[in-house]
């Protein structure tokens, strides 16, 4: 039969609280009692249940993983998948496991993140940005549960966030093209009501104005970060009387969709139109041609999120928002002069 902590205590002639203290290395217990309890645990092969450990230590070693928003990236977005994978490796090394929360019933009024976090005794949460963020996300950020947001500004007594310095992305792209004598640039941005997309959009516009380059309405469109929108919007750009010399897409997936549309038109990249994406997902290395892109450091984002959350959980430091610098990665979809 399965033994409980009360059974171990009864065999040792001590209280369950004493057994709990011994198992969790608390002081104030005689060496003789420690040896006696550990001998019984060894002889009976006693394994404390998860709930027993959690109650005894006030710590579950569980991190809640929340894909926020009525429209969320879920497991479809390779950028966030890589960030989460790096986060998982780092928190795993720190002794944590991940608990994935579904938000499918939020819009039926049947569930809340804070309630479930308390039910599962999670030590903290990682929150991945989406669109149309639920009020429940901000509720948990304002609670006592430590939270770190990825591409999502979380503000609360035990919350912070981390993201790429998205304002610099457009400048890196436009500056590179300008230095290579490209002046006619089209832009495929993300949703204008998205925080990250709006920062990238503003950065692009500011960079174009800085170099005195024209921003043409017929060459400026906004998609949803996924391939299909890049493909359809590129077709709109190619329906104009004049083609741009280069296209900057605010995500690699939109850039890959744009690449398909350019090829279908019988044009070549980079000979006819140069193309730059953003994120540096794995597929960029294997597209034809390989895609020049602005790299978001997914390993650094994941590891920093893990260490920041662990510090919040252990109440080690005051944690402030962090922005990670992007880098331009040159491949064969652009031309250097």
**3-state secondary structure string across the chain:** CCCCHHHHHHHHCCCHHHHHHHHCCCCCCCHHHHHHHHHHHHHHCCCCCHHHHHHHHCCCCEEEEEECCCECCCCCCHHHHHHHHHHHHHHHHCCCEEEEECCCCHHHCCCCHHHHHHHHCCCEEEEECCECCCHHHHHHHCCCCCEEEECCCCCECCEEEEEECCHHHHHHHHHHHHHCCCCCEEEEECCCCCHHHHHHHHHHHHHHHHCCCCCCHHHEEECCCCHHHHHHHHHHHHCCCCCCCEEEECCHHHHHHHHHHHHHCCCCCCCCCEEEEEECCHHHHCCCCCCEEEECCHHHHHHHHHHHHHHHHCCCCCCCCEEECCEEECCCCCCCC
Q: Report the pLDDT averaged over residues 202-223.
A: 97
With cut-offs at 50, 70 and 90, classify the pLDDT of residue 113.
confident
Provide the pLDDT for residue 17.
81
Read off the pLDDT of residues 59-85 as tens digits, 9 standing for 90 and up.
Answer: 788 999 998 877 666 677 789 999 999
Cis peptide before 270 (omega within 30 of 0): yes
pLDDT at 307 over 90: yes
pLDDT at 59 (0 to 100)? 75
> Mean pLDDT across the stretch 251-263?
97
Q: Which pair of tokens denotes residue 172?
A: 């890196």
Residues contacting 55, CB < 8 A, separation 6+: none
Tens of pLDDT, residue by residue over 128-185, are: 987 778 888 989 999 999 999 999 999 999 999 999 999 999 999 999 999 999 999 9
Task: Check whether 241 has a pLDDT greater than 50.
Answer: yes
160 close to 148: Cβ distance less than 8 angstroms: yes
Confidence of residue 107 (pLDDT cuts 50, 70, 90): very low
Among 6-15, 65-74, 192-201, 268-277, which stretch is predicted with the lowest mean pLDDT? 65-74
Split at pLDDT 50, 70, 90, the class of 1 is low
* Residue-wise pLDDT tens digits, 44-61: 888 766 555 555 556 788
Which residues, at least 6 apart from 188, have a Cβ–Cβ distance to it below 8 Å?
A: 221, 222, 223, 229, 230, 233, 234, 237, 247, 248, 249, 250, 254, 255, 258
**Higher confidence at residue 3 or residue 56?**
3
**Range in 16-20, 79-83, 203-207, 238-242 the model is least confident about:** 16-20
Mean pLDDT across the chain, nearest whole number?
90
Mean pLDDT of 211-233: 96
Which tokens sit at 187? 């832009």
Q: What is the reported pLDDT for 108? A: 47
Residue 41 exposure: Cα atoms within 13 Å on the Cβ side: 16
* Mean per-residue pLDDT, 15-41: 84
Q: Percent of the chain scored above 90 by pLDDT?
A: 66
Domains of the chain listed by start with CATH number: 5-57 (1.10.260.40), 62-164+299-325 (3.40.50.2300), 167-296 (3.40.50.2300)
């Amino acid at each position: 039969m399965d033994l409980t902590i009360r059974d171990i205590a009864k065999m040792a002639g001590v209280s369950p609280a004493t057994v709990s203290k011994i198992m969790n290395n608390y002081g104030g217990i005689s060496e003789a009692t420690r040896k006696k309890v550990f001998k019984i645990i060894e002889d009976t092969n006693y394994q404390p249940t998860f709930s027993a450990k959690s109650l005894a230590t006030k710590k579950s070693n569980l991190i809640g993983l929340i894909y926020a928003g009525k429209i969320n990236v879920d497991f479809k977005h390779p950028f966030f998948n890589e960030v989460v994978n790096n986060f998982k490796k780092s928190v795993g090394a720190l002794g944590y496991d991940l608990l994935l929360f579904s938000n499918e019933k939020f819009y039926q009024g049947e569930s809340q993140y804070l309630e479930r976090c308390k039910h599962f005794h999670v030590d903290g949460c990682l929150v991945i940005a989406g669109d149309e963020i639920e009020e429940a996300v901000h509720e948990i950020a304002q609670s006592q549960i430590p939270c770190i947001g990825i591409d999502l500004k979380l503000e609360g007594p035990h919350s912070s966030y981390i993201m790429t310095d998205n304002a610099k992305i457009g400048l890196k792209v436009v500056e590179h093209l300008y230095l290579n004598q490209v002046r006619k640039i089209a832009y495929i941005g993300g949703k204008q009501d998205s925080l990250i997309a709006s920062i990238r959009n503003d950065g692009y516009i500011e960079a174009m104005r800085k170099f005195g380059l024209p921003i043409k309405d017929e060459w400026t469109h906004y998609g949803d970060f996924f391939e299909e929108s890049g493909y359809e919007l590129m077709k709109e750009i190619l329906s104009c009387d004049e083609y741009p010399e280069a296209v900057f897409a605010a995500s690699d997936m939109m850039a890959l969709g744009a690449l398909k549309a350019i090829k279908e038109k019988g044009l070549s990249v980079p000979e006819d139109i140069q193309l730059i994406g953003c994120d540096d997902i794995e597929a960029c290395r294997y597209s034809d041609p390989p895609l020049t892109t602005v790299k978001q450091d997914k390993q650094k984002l994941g590891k920093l999120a893990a260490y920041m959350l662990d510090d919040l959980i252990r109440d080690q430091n005051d944690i402030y928002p962090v922005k990670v610098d992007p880098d331009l990665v040159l491949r064969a979809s652009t031309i250097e002069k």
